[in-house]
Structure 1
Amino acid sequence: MSTQPSSQFAQPRIDARALLGLYDPADTTDWAPIRAAQLNAGSQLAVFLFGANLVGAALVFLLLASIAPLWALASWGAVTAAVGAAITFRRLASRSRTGHTATLADVRDTVLEGIALAAVWSVPPLAFGVKADANVALGLWIVLSVLMTASAVAMAALPLATLAFLGILGASIAVMLFVLTGPLLAAAALLFTVLLMLGCFVRGKSLVVIRAGEIALAERDETVSLLLREFEENSADWLWETDAQRRIVRASPRFAHSVGLDPLAVNGMPFLQVLAGPTWEAGNFAAGLRTLADKLKGREAFRDLLLPVQVQGVERWWEIAASPRFDERGGFIGFRGVGSDVTEQRASADKINKMARFDTLTGLPNRLLINEALARAMAEADKWGSRCAFMMIDLDRFKAINDTLGHPIGDRLLGRVSERLNQLITDNETIGRLGGDEFAVVVRDATDSARVEKLAQSIIATLSKPYELDQHTLYIGASIGVATGPRDGRTAEMLIRSADLALYRSKDAGGGTFHCYEPQLHVQAEERRVLEMALRKALQNGEMHLNYQPVVAADTGELTGFEALLRWIHPEFGNISPVKFVPLAEDARLIAPIGEWVLRTACEEATRWNHPVRVAVNVSPEQLHNPAFVAVVASALAQSGLPADRLELEVTESVFMKEGTCAIQVLEKILDMGVRLSLDDFGTGYSSLGYLSRTRFSSIKIDRSFVQGASQGVPEAIAIIRAVVALAQSLGMATTAEGVETEAEHLMVQDLGCSKVQGYYFGRPLPVEEARAIVNHGQRDAAAA
């Protein structure tokens, strides 16, 4: 076991230089009040020191009166008295100036006092003692030794001044004795002086240690007093005690004040009656009071028991704890405990709880509270064998409004949406906001499915009505997915997932409608998940390849190029359609690496063609929204050696629909390389003449739907093709008709003015070897077969 003293009671380490006042140590000790204590201790014995100097001077005068001139002794005595008086007055005057704190200079300056006093007292032994006989010198040594001892006692609190005085005077006495008697007595005088100086230093250090401890204790006492005062003024805690019959005994004033009763009147009252207040007679107790009664009856210790208490008509919340008490014979004598008023804390906790469960923007329950409400609804449905429902609502066209008019308008629109939703629900439903523009409804009793569907239709109709905000008339809609529990999910998580899948179906249907969950949706979602996992490994497993579809001149049928088309053959799932895996690749953020592979592969293949025809590569909007795509194109051309004018990138109108992107800048940089640009599927989306004039397209591709419509004599389709051809010719662009499958369609698009054609009539998408053979051997007829 360690024998080291506890750090709590260990003597503090005092630096000797700091004790003497030579420097300020860089520790945690505050030396200012300690130095003030040193000066104050010196001032307390200043009068005693002055008296000792006067008595000593008188004795020296009597000893030396027979051997020294009286005028000299009188002069020395006057100087000694003057120096002693000056030191005394100086120390008494410093008491008010250094009452609580003192500087390093204040303590250091006291060494001048010690030197001055030692100087005047060194005169008798050095000026008169060396000429006296041994008896006189011995008497002088005794008187000065007594004076040194008295000074060491009186000035120990100021060790620097005391050590200076003792050292100088002791050396003077040693010189006197050495001259008169030799080295023996001189050494004795020096030894006495050293011992006296050592004792003075030790005593001075002890005084500093004591004072440091007193200061620390005072600070601790002051801190404790402040804490106790703070507790008394602000704390709501109080003590309580009952006897064996559960009646209050020795009620504290704070406890009596907490219950609003007189301290004398509350003694002897049943503890439960005091806490129950007006409900005591009716017996309508709160659950917390019933728990307390059970604990008291069972004589069980308890803690953190929360219960409501009526105090002068106001409900307060208390938290109490207690332990049973027993006498020395083991007999039960009552309870003793502590209580605390936690009304404010509970209000804060309720506020925090509300903030954690309610949306700050709309005031509706948030995702956490909706999940809790759904869990309760499912538990009730399971208990009673009924059904509950969960609706997931997604606003249509909200993002466009948020992006164009700004988030403040979007936030206010969400507030209006929440107001309309609140007007539709009853006590049977709980509505909340999941986040963004997603809302949800929990239907506790959904046994009437027609009522649930009617509510979904009402929500769509209500939210689709126009909104007036800041002189803007805004139109949005809503898509809803509905799942019914426990049929569509045995847990809240499963039911939410089912409603989410139904919502996806509503969005895919164009929005503005609702769909109920069907098991097939889960199958499709699982198929999508498995397909995504396979797609992530398709490139590295070598499962993808390119086919090339010929593009020919409309008038001569001469081959002008190929469009590279991506194909995926999975070893287990077989040939997977691009219609299925390309959108999946875009959603899963896999389109960039796949698109880069397509670009590099197509460029490398085009360099193997003897005839300098072009190769067209479809580019996803996600690729163009990345500035690094410019470097990808440049790298593909450089590594393959393909001339830039033989590469044509095909983009769709959706590239220009997303504001605030760098797609236009990316396209401009790619065009500056000499790469050609083609607009694919023109007319099928939000066709705009603006970006046609701003972007240097080399050709426009007319979608196959217009070609098929025109072949069937649809006037609108014919008019659109003619308009597109005229527009392209006026802008110096070529036109490519897609999906030409018959000779009649070929002749029709040729008559309508299309520059190039593409379709099964001229060739299906061909494997790389066949496409290479067509180019290298000029087998145009084979391509048309």
Structure 2
Amino acid sequence: MGSNSNHIVEPDRQERASLRAMTGLCQVSDDVGTRVLEAQLRTADSVALLRQVMNLCGLVFIWQVFTHCCSPVMLGLWSAGLIGCTLVGVLMDRARRNANNSGLTSRDLRRHGLGALLQGIIWAGCMMLVAHAGETEELVALWTLISCIMVCGAISYAATPLSAAAFLLPCIAGLFGMFHDGGQLPLRALATSYALSLLIGCVIYARTFARQHSTSVQLEEKSEVVSLLLREYEGGGSDWLWQTDSLRRISSVSTRFAETMGLDPAQLEGEPLVQILAGSSWESGRFAAGLHSLADHLKRRESFSNLVLPVEVKGETRWWELSASPRHDENGLFLGFRGVASDVTAQRESADKIARLARFDPLTGLPNRSHLREALDKAMAATRGRTPGCGFLMIDLDRFKAINDTLGHQTGDKLLSQVARRLRQICSGPEFCGRIGGDEFGVVIPTVSDSHRIEQLSSAIISALSAPYQVDQHMLYVGASVGSAMSPMDGGESESLIRSADLALYRAKDEGGGLHCAYEPQLHAKAEERRLLELALREALAKDQLHVLYQPVVDATSGRVLGFEALVRWTHPEMGPISPAKFVPVAEEARLIAPIGEWVLRTACMEAMRWPDDVRIAVNVSAEQLTNPSFVSAVVSALAQSGLEARRLELEVTESVFMNEDAGALRVLDQLLGLGIQLSLDDFGTGYSSLGYLSRTRFNTIKIDRSFVVGASKNTPESLAIIRAVVTLADSLGMTTTAEGVETEVELEMVRQLGCKKVQGYYFGRPMAAQDAIGLFPPPQERARA
């Protein structure tokens, strides 16, 4: 069917193709032009006998009338040419007829025109031959013969304008030679006008012929397509024909229709169409809307198309698509309907599934982000003008990433499904809950009577989602944080309300998670400040506005400088110095901590090359850097470019490295140790401290946080006990200890007595510039003499 439909072109394109085929002056490239060409030659062949008989009659006439005035030799030569040309034409015509005029090309049309040209030249030669020997009366007789010859030629060549022009134009030239005297000018004009009229008539006829035949081809092909469609409807697996009589009863039941209904054609013949389609619902009278629409169309006797309705087939509901038009006889009498039906159950189910996927989350079955947004839009529209209006909760799971990282995403997906079930149970009233994405969920509260309702619902959600989960063989624990916002105070539009709830959630997560925070106006200001700070930090990194200070680490007994800790600092051109406690969290969130850390590492290694060979440089490394596969390469590159020995580089990590149970970070630490680099565990005891950390990686140094140093200087028993335990543990594992934040002589004496080997703090020096750090050592010449 596809190949036939390609032949059905627009009428103007059909006509252009036909005209090109009609002239024979260009190659025919489409089927329409070929079929027009075949029709032209077939029509010309059908009247070729008239032309040939007229040629023979003309030959006899010439010999009868002009033998006394013309040379017999010349007449004989002319006669031989005419007879030969006629025989060639007869042979060519017979060859085409034997081939049934198929496989023709424009070359055949040009050959046909060449034969017509030869005949025209021969008759023009006759006119020239007789004109110089005959009298006026004889010329008139010759003109009478020539006019008959031209008429017969025009008739036989009418469908082939190229041949008509090839035959008539030489004849017109011959007329000029025949009426060559000045007194014969009127006859010349009359004869020429007559010949030109014949030529124009041939062209007009040929054009009409081509147009009509193109139309016939188009109608024929359309008829073939329709017939093919009908056969496909009858024999196909999903489409069939149906028709009714004037009383809306099924008639002429097709085999495919009966098979689809699961009945014999005889069982369907004469039955009301609507009753058959209604099935068991016919008795109850509870029809689908589509069936009511079908009945209305049949009653009003109007055409319809693509009408989809449920149909009961063998006790199962199927979906059919019907199209039909009324039938009338030649007198306009209504005969019934005839139409096409197809089973679109699969398409309907697929469309329903796609529609569901577009509105529901496939993992949890909860409404997705867009559906949740629609519900919030409706709630805000319904409560517009009321205070309070509606509420929105933004929910985020705590510690969910650790489960994904340790147990895999499949376990995480199962956990999210259980979270969704618990949310449905809690939000079983007017609340509308959905999944926003990842481990984030949202709840729309259509009407908020007071803020206590939001607080109660948030507490219930946190409590329910924090209960343990059984997933396969694992008992899992996650918490939940909730941020809330109410309209219109916290946002007049859906987008702003969601943004406010998100800011409140961010605050809840920032405060440790597991709690609910309501939106407050200052949160937006903080978020904007954080955004501007991130932009400024990106610019600072690009424009080299950061700098490194160095804080000395000294021997607790002798006070000798053993090394320095590299500390990054930022002085903004307009905002001035910005605390690391403020910009480092922003850098971590914006994923800038890795490029900043690498820059600090390279800068510190280059500066350490100016110090004595026994002085180390300590550089802080974030957990994000350790999870980067290229971190070890960056460390090796920094050492190679600076020339610093690996033993002089100490990398400080915090306990957060071990929080995600990331084996990759541990492998990186082992690789660094293998290179000879020193490792230091920073801020030990302030986080989720575990002795298991020390068994996983061979640290060289444990740094004791300043909070314990201050507590111990005040004789706090817990602080003293912790420091003693850490020192004892470090000594037994072959590690050293560094007490951080020592600021007074009392604190220094205390950490000495507790056994700390190294000290760092303001008592020995604040973070200083590179020039001040190198000033703590003798000049290189003195170091060399020493």
Coarse TM-score class (shorter-chain normalised) = 0.5 to 0.7
Give distance in 2, aligned partners of 1:365 and 1:379.
19
Aligned to 2:776, the other structure's residue is in SS state helix
Alignment match, 1:588: 590
Distance 1:258 1:42, change over 3 A: farther
3-state SS of paired residue (1:775): coil
Matched-pair contact (CA < 8 Å) for 1:156–1:200: no
Question: 2:729 aligned to 711, 723, 727, which one?
Answer: 723
Change in CA separation of 1:147 and 1:517 when aligned onto 2, cut-off 3 Å: closer
Matches within 5 A, 1:1-150: 20-24=23-27, 31-60=33-62, 62-63=64-65, 86=91, 89=94, 97=101, 102-111=104-113, 113-114=115-116, 143=145, 146-150=148-152
Return the offset for 1:514: 2.4
1:606-625 Cα distance to aligned partner (Å, 9 max, x none): 45557763333324445566
Tell me whether 1:432 sits opposite 2:434 in the alignment: yes
Q: Pairwise CA RMSD of aligned residues?
A: 6.3
How do residues 347-746 of structure 1 correspond to structure 2 at under 5 angstroms? 357-378=359-380, 381=383, 383=385, 385-386=387-388, 388-469=390-471, 473-489=475-491, 491-518=493-520, 521-522=523-524, 524-525=526-527, 527-529=529-531, 531-532=533-534, 535=537, 545-568=547-570, 576-591=578-593, 594-595=596-597, 598-599=600-601, 602-603=604-605, 605-606=607-608, 609=611, 613-622=615-624, 646-652=648-654, 654=656, 678-681=680-683, 684=687, 699=701, 701-704=703-706, 712=716, 714=718, 715=721, 718-727=724-733, 729=734, 736-740=738-742
Give 1:427 deviation, angstroms. 3.3
CA contact (8 A) 1:163 1:197 kept: no
Higher mean C-alpha displacement, 150-159 vs 216-225 = 216-225
Cα deviation, 1:489-520, whole Å, max 9, x if unaligned, reads: 55544443332233223223333332334455
State the alpha-carbon separation in 2 of the partners of residues 192 and 502 from structure 1. Answer: 104
- Sequence identity percentage: 46
3-state SS of the aligned residue for 1:442? strand
CA distance in 2, matches of 1:170, 1:519: 101
Q: How far did residue 440 of structure 1 move? A: 1.2
Q: Distance in 1 between matches of 2:771 and 2:680?
A: 26
Q: Distance in 1 between matches of 2:20 and 2:189?
A: 23
Q: Distance in 2 between matches of 1:157 and 1:543?
A: 90
Shift of 1:418: 2.1
Paired amino acid for 1:565: L
2:159 partner SS: coil
Q: In the superposition, relative to structure 1, how do residues 376 and 121 fare at CA in structure 2: closer, same or farther (>3 Å)?
A: closer
Offset of residue 551 of structure 1: 1.0
Worse overlay, 581-590 or 8-17? 8-17
The one-character-per-residue Cα deviations of 1:679-737 (angstroms, maximum 9, x if unpaired) are: 5445645879799878x97655454566678885545664444334444x3xxx76544
Query: Compared with structure 1, are the counterparts of its residues 207 and 125 closer, same or farther at alpha carbon in structure 2 (3 Å cutoff)?
Result: closer
Contact 1:387-1:446 at 8 Å conserved across structures: yes
CA contact (8 A) 1:370 1:431 kept: yes
Bigger CA drift: 533-542 or 432-441?
533-542
Structure 2 unaligned segments of length 5 or more: list them: 1-10, 230-239, 242-291, 303-343, 781-786
User: SS of the residue aligned with 1:453?
Assistant: helix
Separation of aligned partners in 1, 2:732 and 2:136: 142
Q: 1:358 to 1:406 in 2, by over 3 A?
A: same
CA contact (8 A) 1:655 1:663 kept: yes
Q: For residues 678 and 86 of structure 2, what CA distance do their matches in structure 1 show?
A: 114
How far, CA to CA, are the matches of 1:351 and 1:129 in structure 2? 91
Match of 1:259 in 2: 296
CA distance in 2, matches of 1:114, 1:671: 102
The answer to whether the Cα contact below 8 Å between 2:22 and 2:210 also exists between their aligned partners in 1 is no
Distance in 1, Cα, partners of 2:546 & 2:426: 52
Q: Deviations over 1:446-485 (max 9, x none)?
A: 3354443332232223323444555555443321123344
TM-score, normalised via structure 1 length: 0.64
Give the SS at the match of 1:551. strand
Q: In the alignment, residue 45 of structure 2 is paired with which amino acid?
A: S
Q: CA deviation at 1:676?
A: 5.7
Offset, 1:437: 1.7
Q: Distance in 2 between matches of 1:572 and 1:612?
A: 40
Stretches of structure 1 lacking an aligned partner (at least 5 in a row): 1-7, 235-254, 267-343, 779-785
Q: SS state of the match for residue 563, structure 1?
A: strand
CA spacing shift, 1:721–1:145, aligned 2, 3 Å: farther
Task: State the 1:42 CA deviation.
Answer: 1.4
Post-superposition CA distance 1:113-136 (Å, at most 9, x none):
54786799899999x989998899
Letter of the 1:506 partner, please give it. A
The one-letter amino acid paired with 2:586 is L
* Counterpart contact for 1:604–1:642, Cα < 8 Å: yes
Q: Distance in 1 between matches of 2:419 and 2:776?
A: 61
Q: Secondary structure at the match of 2:775?
A: helix
Tell me by how many angstroms 1:389 deviates.
2.8
Distance in 1, Cα, partners of 2:679 & 2:409: 36
State the match for 1:157 in structure 2.
159
Partner of 2:208: 210
Per-residue deviation, 1:417: 2.4
In structure 2, relative to structure 1, the CA distance for the partners of 1:17 and 1:459 (3 Å cut) is closer
Letter in 2 for 1:498: S
Is 1:42–1:91's contact at 8 Å kept on the other side of the alignment? Answer: no
Give the aligned residue type for 2:437: G
Deviation at 1:774, TM superposition (A): 2.3
Greater shift, 205-214 or 416-425, is seen at 205-214
CA distance in 1, matches of 2:132, 2:492: 119
How many aligned residue pairs are there?
667
The question of whether the paired residues in 1 share the 8 Å contact of 2:552 and 2:564 is answered with: yes
The answer on whether the counterparts of 1:479 and 1:512 sit within 8 Å (CA) in structure 2 is yes
- Could you say if the C-alpha distance between residues 102 and 692 of structure 1 is closer, same or farther in structure 2, counting changes exceeding 3 Å? farther
CA distance in 1, matches of 2:541, 2:124: 105
Any idea what the Cα deviations from partners look like across 1:745-766, whole Å, max 9, x if unmatched? 7677668876533234543434
Deviation at 1:377, TM superposition (A): 3.8
Whichever residue aligns with residue 259 of structure 1, its letter is: D
- Whether contact under 8 Å (1:615, 1:646) holds in the other structure is yes
**1:201–1:582 distance in 2 versus 1, CA, 3 Å:** farther
Residues of 2 paired with 1:352 and 1:648: CA distance?
57
Note if contact 1:739-1:758 (Cα within 8 Å) is conserved in structure 2. yes
CA contact (8 A) 1:125 1:140 kept: yes
In the TM superposition, residue 560 of structure 1 has moved relative to its aligned partner by 1.4
What letter matches 1:393 in structure 2?
Answer: I
